[in-house]
Amino acid sequence: MRRTKLWRNAKLVTLAGDQPWGMLEQGAFASQGEHLQWVGPLAELPEDLRASVVSEVDLGGAVVTPGLIDCHTHLVYGGQRAHEFEMRLNGASYEEIARAGGGIRSTVAATRNATEHQLYAQAAHRVLKLLAEGVTTLEVKSGYGLSQAAETKMLRVARRLSGLGVDVRTTYLGAHAVPAEFEGRQDEYVQAVCDWLPALRRDGLVDAVDAFCEGIGFSPAQTRKVFEAARALGLPVKLHAEQLSDQGGTQLAAEFKALSCDHLEYLSDAGVQAMAASGMVATLLPGAYYFLRETKLPPVQALRDAGVPIAISTDHNPGTSPTLSLLLMLNMACTLFRLTPEEALRGVTIHAAKALGLADRGQLVAGQRADFCVWDIEHPNELSYYFGRNPLRQVARGGAERK
Ligand code: NIG
Ligand code: FE
């Protein structure tokens, strides 16, 4: 008989069913192995499961949510860019700094110069901060190497981070910026990005492929090339789209059945419709919006009206979002983007899972992974309410408690 673990006396935020928050007051749940076997009121626990319970925890009425998912990060990199923050405060714009060779390129230099060991040590430190707030699944992008060797190095580091007790999904972002050695040869660089992909995939380093489709990044035509290379290898795509201008990247991404488009401040109505029709997730990144002091809001109401699932993420990176708090992003999603606290929580659970193409997590229902957080709060709306307070009591991944 399987060994069953039982947790009872919880306020379960299942995010499933018709109730607001999928709330189950006085709920209980049972896991076998890494998955939830049963979720419901304790009185309805099936007899055979009850008989196989080997451990039982009384949660004392605490709020339990699915484990949090940070679905868009650039966590592996060398150095930091506080001096550019200072330059921006002295009047320079993000785009000006990028065009002058700073921005992404300065992080590329620092990343190339760092050893794998150094990159791992720095990234691990960051990951532990995210985990302390209940993150159980994390996406990490490459894109600060921009050579085959350095992109490989970044992705290897990203893979190793799973040893810290988190599921890591890796995304190849070779098309993040044109490195100095390809200056003036953008199309050749795009070809190189495509040429590096088969080996990265063969080494098991890539779960998805992303690009930065932007005036200071890559054109839709160049992005298409990268997406075609991904498709040839059966890899899903996602896109940094319409962050600083409307390039029509979302429509292109829809053609390729992308998992998500991310940022989206300049998303048009046509883009919203394309996303809805293709079933894509809109990943909103309030940290970057805030840190760049953007004033153009993503079209949240239009996304809602069209039924596009909205994910929220840190976008952790040294240039536009040096935050390590996904809980703070919940608050900012509400204060800046006017999401409801429930929408914000769905954005870092069920919708974030979808943005990564993962159907086995993000809700508390039987059959899903037993990834969950226990919070010292009375209602899940408090997760978006506080900023700078971490009410996490306990986190479990695959049914095993982590802290
Ligand atoms: O998601 N937009 C492009 N990439 C990052 C920023 C990268 C950087 O400035 O280092 C982002 O905002
Ligand atoms: Fe990003």
381 CA to middle of ligand 1, Å? 30
Residue 20 has pLDDT above 70, yes or no: yes
Closest residue to atom 9 of ligand 1, CA basis: 319
At 229-248, the pLDDT tens digits run 999 999 999 999 999 999 99
The whole-number average pLDDT for the span 159-185 is: 97
pLDDT above 90 coverage of the chain, percent: 97
Name residue 127's amino acid. Answer: V
CB-based burial, 123-139: b 16+ in 10 Å, e otherwise: bbebbeebbebbbbbbb
Are residues 73 and 354 in contact, defined by beta-carbon separation less than 8 angstroms?
no
At 198-214, the pLDDT tens digits run 999 999 999 999 999 99
Edge-to-edge strand order for the sheet containing 167-175?
A: 68-70, 135-141, 167-175, 208-213, 238-241, 260-263, 281-284, 310-312
Name residue 70's amino acid. Answer: D
pLDDT computed for residue 152 by the predictor:
98
Cα separations in angstroms, 148 against 19, 208, 228, 238: 49, 17, 19, 20
Pinpoint the alpha helices (H) of 244-325.
249-255, 269-278, 286-291, 300-305
355 CA to middle of ligand 2, Å? 13
243 CA to middle of ligand 2, Å? 10
Q: Which residue is listed with tokens 């919940």?
A: 330
At 42-100, the pLDDT tens digits run 999 999 999 999 999 999 999 999 999 999 999 999 999 999 999 999 999 988 998 88
Q: Find the range with the poorest average confidence among 92-96, 160-164, 302-306.
A: 92-96
Name residue 83's amino acid. Answer: H
Q: Which residues contact 78 (CB under 8 A, 6 or more apart)?
A: 107, 110, 111, 112, 113, 114, 118, 119, 122, 144
Spatial distance between the Cα atoms of 152 and 206, rounded to a whole number of angstroms? 10
- Number of the ligand 1 atom closest to the C-alpha atom of 263: 1
Chain CA centroid to CA 4, Å:
31
Residue in 72, 104, 213 to alter for ligand 1 test, most ligand atoms within 8 A of Cβ = 104
Closest residue to atom 8 of ligand 1, CA basis: 319
240 CA to middle of ligand 2, Å? 6
CB-based burial, 87-98: b 16+ in 10 Å, e otherwise: bbeeeeebeebb
- Pair of tokens at residue 263: 């940022």
- Which residues contact ligand 1 via a Cβ below 6 A? 74, 103-104, 107, 212, 240, 243, 288, 315, 317-320
Q: What are phi and psi of 284, to 5 degrees?
A: -100, 145
- Pair of tokens at residue 218: 């890559």
Same topology, domains 4-66+363-402 and 68-355? Answer is no
Check the CA dihedral 212-198-178-98 and report its sign: positive
Q: Which residues contact 321 (CB under 8 A, 6 or more apart)?
A: 285, 287, 288, 291, 314, 315
pLDDT computed for residue 2 by the predictor:
82
104 CA to middle of ligand 1, Å? 7
380 CA to middle of ligand 1, Å? 31
Q: Give the number of the ligand closest to the Cα of residue 317.
A: 1
Q: Give the number of the ligand closest to the Cα of residue 292.
A: 1
What global pTM score does this model have?
0.98
How high does pLDDT run on average in the chain?
97
Q: Which residues contact 200 (CB under 8 A, 6 or more apart)?
A: 151, 152, 155, 172, 206
Spatial distance between the Cα atoms of 330 and 342, rounded to a whole number of angstroms? 10
pLDDT above 70 coverage of the chain, percent: 100
pLDDT computed for residue 100 by the predictor:
84
Look at residues 72, 61, 78 and name the one whose alpha carbon lies nearest to residue 24.
61
Spatial distance between the Cα atoms of 253 and 209, rounded to a whole number of angstroms? 11
- Number of the ligand 1 atom closest to the C-alpha atom of 319: 9
- Pair of tokens at residue 143: 């894109």
- Number of the ligand 1 atom closest to the C-alpha atom of 317: 10
At 255-266, the pLDDT tens digits run 999 999 999 999
Q: Where are the domains of the chain?
A: 4-66+363-402, 68-355
The DSSP secondary-structure symbol of 258 reads -
Residue 403 has pLDDT above 80, yes or no: no
pLDDT computed for residue 299 by the predictor:
98
Second-level CATH architecture of 68-355: Alpha-Beta Barrel (3.20)
Cα separations in angstroms, 39 against 16, 24, 371: 11, 9, 13
Cα separations in angstroms, 20 against 14, 176, 305, 340: 10, 39, 18, 12
pLDDT computed for residue 164 by the predictor:
98
- Number of the ligand 1 atom closest to the C-alpha atom of 81: 10
Closest residue to atom 11 of ligand 1, CA basis: 320
Spatial distance between the Cα atoms of 287 and 183, rounded to a whole number of angstroms? 30
Spatial distance between the Cα atoms of 59 and 63, rounded to a whole number of angstroms? 9
Question: What is 4-66+363-402's CATH number?
Answer: 2.30.40.10
Residue in 317, 321, 329 to alter for ligand 1 test, most ligand atoms within 8 A of Cβ = 317
- Number of the ligand 1 atom closest to the C-alpha atom of 212: 3
Residue in 320, 321, 323, 329 to alter for ligand 1 test, most ligand atoms within 8 A of Cβ = 320
Check the CA dihedral 310-70-254-364 and report its sign: negative
Residue 1 has pLDDT above 70, yes or no: no
386 CA to middle of ligand 2, Å? 25
pLDDT computed for residue 271 by the predictor:
98
